[in-house]
Chain A
């Protein structure tokens, strides 16, 4: 079972064409294992990306280096998953 310990979801606020170019570069880097939750790069809408723990510092450094503004939407994906799992277990018990 795949775990997502320490994975974060970053929300990126694109403000310029330079930011878009930087994100395209990021998207092409398949080795980082980035999971784009929202696609399409425009200044109209934020972009959410799940970043594996192992790539976090590199991705954050890259965004900072390119002056791309971002914030952390989900601090630890696995924590949410664990909560979801325990909720499902408790719901299943209720049904029985």
Chain B
């Protein structure tokens, strides 16, 4: 039962996948597990699809854990999956949202990396693909998208943690998401969840040029963070990737924005340095709770502003 699941703990991939099965079984009319492909090491990749029916409804994408060591993101996504499921039919906002749109939630976007953080190197961030001519493995999957690919803020060195890979979408984990997004064709929002440093960002990262929708996305982001902050007063900054962190090319939300998904955002959850990627498990639920408030605001805004 999902009721006995310990949301305040970090879990391995097997346990998370098993939780997903339980959640789907508990809400068969709301959730399906979409197998979007397999990882480099042949692990299945799943997105949870929350849908109340209809064909090719407008949809919102949320992914977590593309950088495997950012454990609080996978853990928060588990909590959020359960929150969406349990709030449907109870919370008017979630009910109305799912009456009009579908939500796709990918809890473990980089399963090979996640397993590697549990078994070999807790600090692993990248995929696990092998590069010919190099003894170093893996590509930074958030430098591998076809948006300013290979530009500033990504490394051409396969040993670097921000290695962009041999070509755009070379990583099957990225390609699987790209294919799903392109095949679907009706995503209105794409939200990627990372951790640490407490930021909510919008495009661009590959250039410091402002996007045409900057003022709208900035105001949506600011309002979302006001909601997030209302719970525990966690401090967040809002801005474009390039302006509030650094120029970084090949990022997912730049690609989604450039293909026409206007409401593209990236979260950076807790913390700010005292624990880094080793955030104590007792902070999972507070982090997920506050993130949910911000996420919900964005989702409601997307529902209310069709384009």
Contact = CB atoms under 8 A, between A and B. Distances in A.
Contacts of A45: 197, 244-245
Nearest to B160: A30
B6 A88 contact: no
Contacts of B121: 1-2
B120 interface: yes
B122 interface: yes
Nearest to A74: B276
B6 A50 contact: no
A91 B9 CA distance: 6
B274 interface: yes
B119 interface: yes
A40 interface: yes
Interface residues of B, number: 31
Contacts of B4: 95
B17 interface: no
B122 A81 contact: yes
Contacts of B54: none
B273 A46 contact: yes
B163 to A, nearest CB: 12
Contact of A74 (B6, B196, B246, B275): B275
B36 to A, nearest CB: 28
**Secondary structure class of chain A's binding surface, majority of residues:** mixed
Given A1-B119, A80-B278, A81-B278, A39 B9 contact: no
A48 B153 contact: no
Contacts of A48: 273, 276
Contacts of A80: 275, 278
A91 B159 CA distance: 35
B129 interface: no
B281 interface: yes
A87 B275 CA distance: 15
Interface of A: 1-2, 4, 9, 11, 30, 35-42, 44-46, 48, 50, 73-74, 77, 80-81, 83-84, 87-88, 91-92, 94-95
Given A36-B161, A40-B153, A41-B246, 14 more contacts: A1-B120, A2-B122, A30-B159, A35-B161, A37-B273, A39-B245, A45-B197, A45-B245, A74-B274, A81-B278, A84-B280, A88-B9, A88-B281, A95-B6
5 contacts: A45-B245, A74-B275, A87-B281, A91-B281, A95-B4
